[in-house]
Structure 1
Amino acid sequence: MLSPESAATVRSTLPVVAEHLDTVTARFYDTMLGEHPELLDGLFNRGNQASGEQRAALAGAVAAFASALLAHPDERPDALLSRIAHKHVSLGVTEDRYTVVHKYLFGALAHVLADAATPAVVAAWDEVYWLMAGALIALEARLYAEAGLATGRDAWRPWTVTERREQTPDTVSLTLEPDGGAAPAPRPGQYVSVRVRMPDGVRQARQYTLTGWDGTSRRITVKRLRAGEGPAGEVSTLLHGTARPGSTLMVSAPAGDVVLPGGDHPLLLASAGIGCTPMVALLRGLAERGDTRPVLVLHADRAPRDHAHRDETAALVGALPGARSLTWYETGGGDRTGRMDLAGVDVPEGAEAFLCGPTPFMRGVRTRLLEAGVPARRIRYEVFGPDLWRAAD
C-alpha cells in the first residue's frame, strides 16, 4: 500500500509520467545496456529491444501497477505481477537485477521529466517501484522454490535433442532429455526458455510452450518466422535450422500461469497460427486426466498445411468425450473458410476461455466472447514475447 503522501503525488503526476513513460523506458534501456552490454547476453531479447516492444511492455506494466495501487489500495494486482514473475523465472532473473534496473530507470525518469522530477515526485515513484519490485522478488523466490531451485542462477541446465519432427514447412517439434537428474514437472500450458549462442557470440533466449511430456522428456514446438511476417525471429530461425538429434540446448525450468484449471466447468480454447501450442498442452492435460467436461476447440490458420499439430489436436479432441472442434482456413479445407468468426458458434454457458494468437485476433475473439456473456475474469490469454495487451477486467 502506498503512503497517503505518495498516493496523492502519484495520482497527480500519473498522467504526465504515463505520457512520457515510453521516452523514459527508451532512455532507460539505452543507458543501461550501453553501460552493461553483458545484460543482452541471455537476459534481454535484442529483437524486442530493436522493435520497441520491450520498452512498451515495461512502460505499460509500470503504469498499470501504479493505476492499480491508486484504484484498489488494499489489493495487490496479482494477475499483472504473476505474468511478469513467471517470465522472469523462465529467464533466471535474480534479485540483484532490480537494483540495477532501479538505478537506470530513475536516472532516465529524472532526465526526461527534468524540473518536474522534484524530490517529492521521485520519492513517490520510488515507493511505487519498490512495492512492485518487492512483490515480484517474493513471488519469484516462491516460484524458484516450488521448482526445487535455490535462486534464478540455478534455472538453466543442458538438455539434449532426441527427436526432431516437422509439423509444417516452417514449424518443427523438438523432443528433449535432461542431461542428468530429474527435471521439474510442468503444468499443462507452461513454457520454458531456450538459450542459444548466436553466430556473433551473444546468447539469446526465447520462450516455447511445452507441447508434450513423457517421463523425463519434454517437447517444444518452434516456428521459423520469416522476414516480412514481422522481424525475423533469430532464436527460432537458428533452432529451426540447426537443432538436430544430439544437439545440446540450455533450457530453463517451466514457468507460466496460463495453465489447465481444475473443476468441471466448460472450456473454450481459441487459437490462431502457432498460438495452437498452449491449446495442445491443455488438451493433453485434459486427456491425461480422463476429463469429461465440455470443451470447445477453435483454431484459425492460413491453410491445413500450415496448421501445426493438426492431427494430434484432432486425436486429442477425439479422446475427450465432451470435446468438439471447429477450424477456419483462409484457403478452405476446414469446417469454415476465412478468418475466425464466432457468429453462430454456441459458446458453452459458464465457460472459461483461453486465447492465444496474434493480438488483433485475441482482441476480436475476446470482444465476441464478452458479447456472448463470458465474464472478462474468465477470459485468459497467453502471449509470445512482451505482453503488449493487458485485457482489462
Structure 2
Amino acid sequence: MLSEQSAATVRATLPVVGGAIGEITERFYAGMFAARPELLRDLFNRGNQAAGTQRQALAGSIAAFATHLVDHPDERPDAMLGRIAHKHASLAIAPEQYGIVHEHLFAAIVEVLGEAVTPEVAAAWDEVYWLMANALIAIEKRLYEERGGGGWREWEVVGRVEETADVATFRLRPADGRPAPDFRAGQYVSVQVELADGARQIRQYSLSAAPGSPLRQFSVKRVHGGATPDGEVSQHLHTRVRVGDRLRLSAPYGDLVLGDTDAAAPLLLASAGIGVTPMIAMLGQLADLGHEGPVRVVHGDRSPAGHALRADHEAYAEKLADASVHFFYETDADPAQRSHRTGLVDLADIDVPQGTRAYLCGPLPFMRAVRTQLIGKGVAPADIHYEVFGPDLWLAQEG
C-alpha cells in the first residue's frame, strides 16, 4: 500500500489538494479534451460533462481513495474500486488510457497548486494515483477475462414496448446468432449509438428482465433536460430506434446483484422512478427461484401512469410466497388499491424483518432517505446495497 513517507506527505497535503480538487478536475477535463477531443466525442458522457457531475464524481473518488489510504493503510477500499471498475469495463476502458489520465491530471494539479507541488508532494500523489489506477486495471482485467474479453457486440432490436409516455422497453437478440452470455439480476449493459453529429455516445441501462432469457431487455427513460440539455442518447433511442435496427452493446456489468442467500432470507427491494428496472430483474429471478422468505417491494413515483413496468412489478410479486407491495405516488394514487399510498416513500408502517438485506435504486435523495429509515428499523448498513444511474456522487462522498 502507500509508503510511510508518501502517507505522511499525503496526510499533510490532503486538505489543500482536497480543497482544490474541484478546480483541478475541471482543468483536467478541459486539458484532456483539448488534447484528445475524440474522448469527449466517443467515450465520455457529454451531458455529464456539461452538468459537471462527472467532475464531481472524479474529484470525490480521488479524495476518498487518498483519505482511505492514510486512515487505513493496510486496507483497500474494494467496494469503491469494484464499482468504478465495473463501470470502466462496461465502457471498454483499456490500461493505456490510465496513462493519458495521469498526464493531464498531474498537469492540472501543477497548474492549480503551483509551487506547492514540490517534488516530494508530486511523488506522493503520483503513488496515490498509480495505486488506484493499477488496482482498477487488475479488477478490470479480471472482469474482461470472466466475460471472454471486453468490447462491443451488435444486437438486433426485435421488440419495442411503450411502457409510459417517457419510458420504452427494447428487446434485442445477438445479430451474429451466437448465444447471449448470461447475466446477474441487477446488472446493466452499455449501449453505444451514433448521433447526428457522428459522435458515438455511450450510456448504461439496467437489464429489466430476469436472467436466463436468450434476449437482452432494457428500459429507457427519455431525459428531458430542463435546466440542462435533453438526454442525447435517450432521445435518440426513443425517436430513432425501431424493430429491425441494430445497436452495439457491451457485456453485462455491475455489482448491485442479488447476493447468494438462502430461500428463506428476508429481502427489501426499494426503487423510485426509472430505478425500478434492476428491481424488476431481481423480482423475476426471485420468482423463478421460488424464493420463500419475506420480500418487501417498495416503489415511489409521480403517479400510477408514470410507473414504468408496473404490471411486471405486481405480477412477479404475486408469484412470491411471502411478498408485500407498497407503491407511493405523489398524485393520483388509487384509494381502492391496497398497495397504493399517497406521498413520498415512507417505511414507518412497513414491517422490515430482522436480518433483511435491502437493495435500493433511484435518485440520491430517495436512497438517502430510505437508507436512513432502514437503519432506524435495525437493518445493518452492510446489508443495504444501492445503484446510482450516472456518476456515483454518493459513493464519492461516502468513500
With the length of structure 1 as denominator, give the TM-score of the two structures: 0.97
What is the aligned counterpart of 1:200 among 190, 194, 197?
197
Query: Which amino acid in structure 2 is aligned with residue 347 of structure 1?
Result: V
Corresponding position of 1:165: 161
8 Å contact kept, 1:376–1:392 = no
8 Å contact kept, 1:224–1:237 = yes
Corresponding position of 1:363: 368
What SS class does the counterpart of residue 261 from structure 2 fall into?
Answer: coil
Task: Map residues 298-313 of structure 1 onto 2, 5 A cutoff.
Answer: 298-313=298-313
Shift of 1:183: 2.9
How many residues matched?
A: 389
Structure 1 position 238 matched with structure 2 position 236? yes
Task: Map residues 144-183 of structure 1 onto 2, 5 A cutoff.
Answer: 144-149=144-149, 152=150, 155-180=151-176, 181-183=178-180
Corresponding position of 1:325: 325
What SS class does the counterpart of residue 73 from structure 2 fall into?
Answer: coil
- Give the distance between the partners of 1:21 and 1:50, measured in 2 at CA: 18
Corresponding position of 1:80: 80
Query: Which amino acid in structure 2 is aligned with residue 90 of structure 1?
Result: S
Shift of 1:230: 5.4
Structure 1 position 185 matched with structure 2 position 185? no
8 Å contact kept, 2:184–2:257 = yes
Corresponding position of 1:59: 59
- Give the distance between the partners of 1:42 and 1:378, measured in 2 at CA: 37
Gaps spanning 5+ residues in structure 2: where?
A: none
8 Å contact kept, 1:209–1:221 = yes
- Give the distance between the partners of 1:16 and 1:274, measured in 2 at CA: 39
Shift of 1:214: 4.9
Corresponding position of 1:39: 39
8 Å contact kept, 2:182–2:212 = no
Corresponding position of 2:252: 254
Shift of 1:231: 4.0
- Give the distance between the partners of 1:245 and 1:229, measured in 2 at CA: 32
Shift of 1:369: 1.1
- Give the distance between the partners of 2:64 and 2:232, measured in 1 at CA: 30
Structure 1 position 91 matched with structure 2 position 91? yes
Deviations 1:66-87 (A, max 9, x none): 1111121111100000000000
Shift of 1:229: 7.6
What is the aligned counterpart of 1:217 among 190, 210, 215?
215
- Give the distance between the partners of 1:170 and 1:17, measured in 2 at CA: 42
- Give the distance between the partners of 1:169 and 1:22, measured in 2 at CA: 37
- Give the distance between the partners of 1:229 and 1:237, measured in 2 at CA: 16
Mean CA deviation greater in 267-276 or 281-290? 281-290
- Give the distance between the partners of 2:68 and 2:288, measured in 1 at CA: 38
Query: Which amino acid in structure 2 is aligned with residue 299 of structure 1?
Result: H
What SS class does the counterpart of residue 326 from structure 2 fall into?
Answer: strand
What is the aligned counterpart of 2:346 among 341, 346, 354?
341
With the length of structure 2 as denominator, give the TM-score of the two structures: 0.95
Closer/same/farther in 2, CA of residues 215 and 356 from structure 1, 3 Å limit: closer
- Give the distance between the partners of 2:390 and 2:295, measured in 1 at CA: 27
- Give the distance between the partners of 2:156 and 2:64, measured in 1 at CA: 40
What SS class does the counterpart of residue 168 from structure 1 fall into?
Answer: coil
Corresponding position of 1:21: 21
Over aligned residues, Cα RMSD in angstroms? 1.3
8 Å contact kept, 1:11–1:70 = yes
Gaps spanning 5+ residues in structure 1: where?
A: none
Deviations 1:255-301 (A, max 9, x none): 00000111132111111100101100111111221211211010011
What SS class does the counterpart of residue 204 from structure 1 fall into?
Answer: strand
What SS class does the counterpart of residue 15 from structure 1 fall into?
Answer: helix
Runs of 4+ with >3 A deviation: none
8 Å contact kept, 2:51–2:228 = no
8 Å contact kept, 1:148–1:184 = no
How many percent identity over aligned positions? 55
